[in-house]
Structure formats: C-alpha cells, structure tokens
A and B are shown apart, each in its own frame.
Chain A
C-alpha cells in the first residue's frame, strides 16, 4: 500500500532521516517505535507532504505521493492523527468531527459516520456542544482519532496517540485502534510506548537517530533482548 524508499530529510543541514526504507502492507497494523528525536514524526510529516525530502521516494498504491499537496492526501485515503492532537480548540466537538469529513459531500454517509464515531467514543457525544479546547487530554485524543476517521481513510497514521495520557486511557485508545483496524483500515502507528504498540502490531520498525535499525513482526520484536533493554525498561536476565 505504502512504500518508502531511501528517504532522506534534512532540516537546515541536519539530517533527520538518513535514508529510511519501509513498507506498510494493506490491512496491517504497522508500528514505528523509537526514542525522542529518532525521526518518527518527521517520517509521518514527510508522507503527509508537510516536509519536503532531499531525496528518496514515497509510493502509495503504485502512485508517487511526493508530488501531491498536503490538502489532497485526505482525498487519496490518507488521514493523520497529528502529534499533540491538534484539535481545533475554537470549534465545538461536533464541528471538529465534521471537519474531518470536509472533503466529503454525502450528507447521509457523514451522518452515519458521526454516529459511528460516537459509538467508538461515547464521551464525545456527551460533549458534542463543548468547545474542543475545554476537553481533557484523553478526550482530545479521542476527538483527534474520531476526526481522522470521518474521512473514511484507507490508511490511518497516528503520531503518538498515547502521549501524556493516563494508563487506563491509553488502554482504551489501543483497544479502539484495534477496533478500527478490524473495520479494514490500515494503520501506521508511531509510538514511544513500545510495549503497547508492539503488542497490537503486525509489523514493527525500530528507529534510531534517523535510521531504521530493526524490523520484524511485532511479537518477535517484543522478545528481542536489545529492544527490551532500550524501550521496555527490562534488564538482561
């Protein structure tokens, strides 16, 4: 579905991505884990067209994605849950959900999908007339996910959806990611919470300072000694 080849991105001479290659297969949950500053967010932002790469290719369903404008990504079926949620604080919860369907014209389908989002996140229905800025962090994260779903994406990319959330809420978010996946949405998940991410992922990539250092099925990476040490906080037995 999505294929990244030898992608190099630099910010003012500093290379943030030093030639990474990865693939997201149709119908899978793929996760990209790594520490702060490894280049995970840059990868997503480059896919989204928010950052222009120095070299490399990104191909989506056999078509070049790099020449596409950010605003057209959602028409191609790619939705992003941005880092730090970035809900529109000055819009109501319902408006935030509706704006996710900005490019859609099918009023009926939109209405159904609003109900669908409400069924995934019942709290949003209760708060539908509140300004999004008044929501708690967890609720904002749910709103950001719900908003992204409203475009009916084929590929849903999430940038650290668990960041700064209470453990119970994190559990909730991951349960819902799996639920969304069951509905046929391919997921590219960026996480620092390696444990939770690898548990649900079909494929995991590990990033360190702009390079991909490991790749493998989620379960396999979970038992990898190096990863345990580096990301899961377990020492060698």
Chain B
C-alpha cells in the first residue's frame, strides 16, 4: 500500500496500523477538548466573557465522580448522572456568585472575577479533596481493548468517547436550535436589553447557559478520568487553557467552531508526538503556537464571523 510505504519511509518505520491508532487517539482526545471548549464558547457567546473557572469546574466534576463511585459506592449509572447535575449546579453557583453581581461592571472586572473564581476552586479542591492525586474509578464496562480486523488493538474507550460526545452534541444542537429555551439563549447572546423587552428572563437564561456548559464539562471530565485515570486539584488548568484555545481557533462564540477547534487541537497534538517524537516535550506548547498562528492569520477563528458591535 502506498500510504503504508510512505509512512514507513518518511517517518522511521510507522505502519498504517500505528497511524490509525494515533488517528483514533486523536479523535477521542479531540472529542474531550470539544466538550470542554463548548462551555467556553457558550459563555463567551452570551456574556462576552472568558470563563477561566471552566477548567476547574471540569476538575471538580472528576472529584464528584470519584466520591460518588468510591466513597458512596454508587454504581456508575447512578453516580454519573448525579455528577452531571451537581457540576451543572456548580457552574450556576459560580455565575450567580462571581459574575451576576458584576453584570453592569466593565468587562475587565468580570474577567478578573473569573480568574479569582478559578483560583478559589483550585484551592478549595486542594483543601477539601487533598493535594495528592487520586486514581479515577473507571467502571469495568468501559475498560478493555478490542482487536480490529487487521490486528489493530485499541482501547474500547477510544470508541466510547467520540460516541458519547456525538450524543451530547446532537442533544445540545437540538436544544439550541429547535427549542424555545434555545431561542431565548440565542436572543440573549445577541442583545440582553431587547431580550428583556420580549419578556425573556435574562438572568435565568444566562444561568442555564452556565449549567449546560458545566454539564458538558462534566461529561468531558468523567471520560477524561477514564482515559487518564489520575485526578488532582490542578488537573483542570492545562486542559482548560487548551480548550479555551480550541474555542478561539474554531471561532469563539460558535459551537460548531468549538467542536472543530477541539478536534484540530486533539488530532494535531497526537500527530505531532507521533510523527515527530523528538518534539514530545513540546506537546503542550503546540496548542499555544497554534493559538498565536491563528490570532495572527485569522483572529476571528476558522468559522468565526466578524464581530460587528451592536449599533
């Protein structure tokens, strides 16, 4: 096979199977990035705010899952839905406590408040959950490997992650584009004042947006915990920053853009390590380099529209 031959000769002995493995890995990492990036993009869309606490909400979700399964001994199918709800409520709490009182304040104040909320969550987690990393209790059903036709062996999780992501993504797009609540969210993201005139409860709509974004971060967090089964209070920082970058790459404020950005970042990162193993140490830097390139070449992101300020 030509592709096989090319891979082998150009990239010191990589086989097609290895390439496929990397690709699948990249897709599942990209799915996780996409789920978290959606939270950034939704909040930005409705408040023009970068919610720096989002990565820490993601981290807290993994602890909720840990306590649900390990401490309270709940089966995963009971614990995980509860984790989603609690993480959603946490997101709404952060909004009500840190952002709502600053609704009419300058944007920079809210941004600083979000950095404060992020530090608060990280330190609270360190105090309450302890700084020592804990093993994530992956339910047995999600473990194991499958062997594909051509002898390619992959974790089952590699397939579960994109599938679950797809389900939640479809549900989210349905909610936003087809329901009255979604219509209100889109209206508020365009114009708070006119939305109020229409009788829309703007505060409740914003709160709901935080709740949904946080729930998706919880979905991402649970699956992240299964893929990289060690959780710690600062585990949300780097994924948080990367997913923020993913949202910017795609075009912040746009959900499809966040998904696209997540996949570009996830697949790109894995491929970088796969094809250029010498650069493995620069894996995290890849995201930031990509951010700089995007900001220089197309600041509105790949699918981003020009932000025409309201007149």
Query: Which residues of A pack against B, CB within 8 Å?
Result: 48, 50, 69-75, 79-80, 82, 84, 86, 88-91, 95, 98-100, 102-103, 147, 151
Binds A, one of B166-174, B182-190, B228-236, B238-246: B182-190
**B194 contact from A69, A88, A95, A98, Cβ within 8 A:** A88
Known: A50-B193, A88-B191, A102-B180. A71 touches B186 (CB 8 A): no
Known: A70-B196, A80-B197, A82-B197. A88 touches B190 (CB 8 A): yes
Do A90 and B199 have beta carbons less than 8 Å apart? no
- 9 residue pairs of the A-B complex, CB under 8 angstroms, read A71-B201, A73-B199, A82-B193, A84-B311, A88-B191, A88-B194, A91-B183, A102-B184, A102-B199
**B186 contact from A70, A82, A88, Cβ within 8 A:** A88
The smallest beta-carbon distance between B202 and chain A, in angstroms, is 7
Do A89 and B199 have beta carbons less than 8 Å apart? no
The smallest beta-carbon distance between A84 and chain B, in angstroms, is 6
Question: Is B79 at the interface (CB under 8 A from chain A)?
Answer: no
Q: Would you give the 0/1 interface string for B195-222, flagging 1 where the beta carbon is closer than 8 Å to chain A?
A: 0111111100000000000000000000
List A contacts of B190 (CB < 8 A): 88-91
**B196 contact from A71, A75, A79, Cβ within 8 A:** A71
Complex CA–CA separation, A73 to B199 (angstroms): 7
The smallest beta-carbon distance between B2 and chain A, in angstroms, is 45
Complex CA–CA separation, A210 to B187 (angstroms): 32
Do B199 and A75 have beta carbons less than 8 Å apart? yes
Known: A82-B194, A86-B194. A72 touches B199 (CB 8 A): yes
**B197 contact from A70, A84, A95, A98, Cβ within 8 A:** A70
Do B186 and A90 have beta carbons less than 8 Å apart? yes
The smallest beta-carbon distance between B35 and chain A, in angstroms, is 23
List B contacts of A48 (CB < 8 A): 197
List A contacts of B180 (CB < 8 A): 102
Do A71 and B187 have beta carbons less than 8 Å apart? no
Query: Which residues of B pack against A, CB within 8 Å?
Result: 180, 183-184, 186-187, 189-191, 193-194, 196-202, 311
**A102 contact from B186, B189, B193, B198, Cβ within 8 A:** B198
| Residue on A nearest B305 in the bound complex, by CB | A90
| Residue on A nearest B200 in the bound complex, by CB | A102
Do B183 and A73 have beta carbons less than 8 Å apart? no
List A contacts of B184 (CB < 8 A): 99, 102
Complex CA–CA separation, A89 to B305 (angstroms): 13
Complex CA–CA separation, A124 to B37 (angstroms): 36
Complex CA–CA separation, A88 to B196 (angstroms): 12
Do A90 and B189 have beta carbons less than 8 Å apart? yes
The smallest beta-carbon distance between A104 and chain B, in angstroms, is 9
Do A71 and B200 have beta carbons less than 8 Å apart? yes
Do B198 and A99 have beta carbons less than 8 Å apart? yes
Known: A86-B191, A89-B190. A74 touches B183 (CB 8 A): no
The smallest beta-carbon distance between A224 and chain B, in angstroms, is 33
The smallest beta-carbon distance between A86 and chain B, in angstroms, is 4
List A contacts of B196 (CB < 8 A): 50, 69-71
| Residue on A nearest B203 in the bound complex, by CB | A71
Do A71 and B199 have beta carbons less than 8 Å apart? yes
Q: For B193, B199, B202, which residue has the most chain A Cβ atoms within 10 angstroms?
A: B199
Do B199 and A103 have beta carbons less than 8 Å apart? yes
> Besides the contacts A72-B199, A99-B183, what 5 more A-B pairs have beta carbons closer than 8 Å?
A70-B193, A73-B197, A91-B190, A102-B184, A102-B200
List A contacts of B311 (CB < 8 A): 84
| Residue on B nearest A132 in the bound complex, by CB | B190
List A contacts of B199 (CB < 8 A): 71-75, 102-103, 151
List A contacts of B187 (CB < 8 A): 88, 91, 99
The smallest beta-carbon distance between B181 and chain A, in angstroms, is 11
The smallest beta-carbon distance between B221 and chain A, in angstroms, is 30
| Residue on A nearest B193 in the bound complex, by CB | A50
Complex CA–CA separation, A102 to B250 (angstroms): 32
Complex CA–CA separation, A73 to B184 (angstroms): 17
List B contacts of A100 (CB < 8 A): 198
| Residue on B nearest A71 in the bound complex, by CB | B196
Do B202 and A91 have beta carbons less than 8 Å apart? no
List B contacts of A98 (CB < 8 A): 183
Complex CA–CA separation, A79 to B199 (angstroms): 10
Complex CA–CA separation, A103 to B201 (angstroms): 10
Complex CA–CA separation, A91 to B178 (angstroms): 12
List B contacts of A71 (CB < 8 A): 196-197, 199-202
